[in-house]
Amino acid sequence: MKFSVITLFPELVLNLSKYGVVGRAIEEKLADLEVFNPRNYSDDPNRRIDDRPYGGGPGMVMQFEPLQKAIRHAKGQTTNTRVIYLSAQGKPIGHSDIGRLSSYDSLILLAGRYEGVDERVIEAEVDEEISIGDIVVSGGELPTMMLIDALIRHIPGALGHEESANQDSFVDGLLDCPHYTRPESIQGLSVPKVLLGGDHQAIQKWREKESLGRTFQRRPELLEKLNLSDEQKALLEEYIQEQLD
């Protein structure tokens, strides 16, 4: 999968290619990351790409032409692509969106700065706006990097263990269960005994119960969207009773 990022800070985005899962995937050519600086598409002698907003107000707005030229240049190097603007006004992204976007061969990701981009860029070139949540950050680079990371995790071969992505939070609509590693006991805190006994059926039941319970406690609205089986309902009731006791 190819990621083309329109950004004023290409070095920031390219740092993704140096570390962890994303870095290995790019090194192994499972994914490709390219950056396009809109300053390189400006006709201004000083490579200026922003101006004051019409109607007044604070801040500056990124101009139409440099952004359009950068997007269209990126488009010319891709197939089966989609242009996404990372924006606080966008639709909050969820796990289902990751699966949907994974079907494209390439994505062009527009990382805005200042007060945002000229609205006509969105009207003319952008297929959808995406938000990472109800917060505002200084630019679209960090949300863009988060989206790239999430998508690369779903590329076959990108993770060390193929089941890792399938066990992430939200894959089945629930939060993930707790995880533990050695030592068995530290500072008076111990690993749950069920994880030490080698009974894989009991371990799986415990993990599902903890996943249901954690979702109930932290993100109850997620449970409202699910059609829980009778077994899951029983496990959740068992979890709730354990907490009350």
Distance CA 243, CA 245 (A): 5
Question: Of 224, 227, 196, 228, whose CA–CA distance to 209 is shortest?
Answer: 228
Q: What type of residue sits at position 64? A: F
Percent share of the chain, pLDDT over 90: 90
Q: What type of residue sits at position 70? A: A
Phi first, then psi, for residue 70 (nearest 5°) are -65, -45
pLDDT class for 130, splitting at 50, 70, 90?
A: very high
Are the CB atoms for 208 and 234 separated by under 8 Å? no
Are the CB atoms for 44 and 175 separated by under 8 Å? no
What separation in angstroms does the CA of 166 have from each of 70, 99, 160, 161? 36, 12, 13, 10
Strand 128-131 relative to strand 81-92: parallel, antiparallel, unpaired? parallel
Q: What is the pLDDT of residues 51-96, one digit of tens each?
A: 999 999 999 999 999 999 999 999 998 889 999 999 999 999 998 9
- Using a CB cutoff of 8 Å and minimum separation of 24, what contacts does 170-173 make? 170/94, 170/95, 170/222, 171/95, 173/222, 173/225, 173/226
> Average pLDDT for residues 117-145, to the nearest whole number?
96
**Which CATH number, 2.130.10.10, 3.20.80.10, 3.40.1280.10, 3.30.70.600, labels domain 2-152?**
3.40.1280.10
Place of tokens 């966008």: 90
> Under CATH, which number does the domain 169-244 receive?
1.10.1270.20
Q: What type of residue sits at position 178? A: P
Distance CA 83, CA 77 (A): 13
50 membership: H or E segment, kind and range: strand 50-51
Using only C-alpha atoms, what is the Rg of the chain? 22
Structure confidence at residue 112 (pLDDT)? 96
pTM beyond 0.95: no
Q: What is the pLDDT of residues 148-206, one digit of tens each?
A: 999 999 999 998 665 555 555 556 789 999 999 999 999 999 999 999 999 999 999 99
Q: 230-244 vs 200-218: helix axis angle to the nearest 10?
A: 70
> 2-152 and 169-244 share one CATH topology?
no
Domain regions of the chain by residue span: 2-152, 169-244
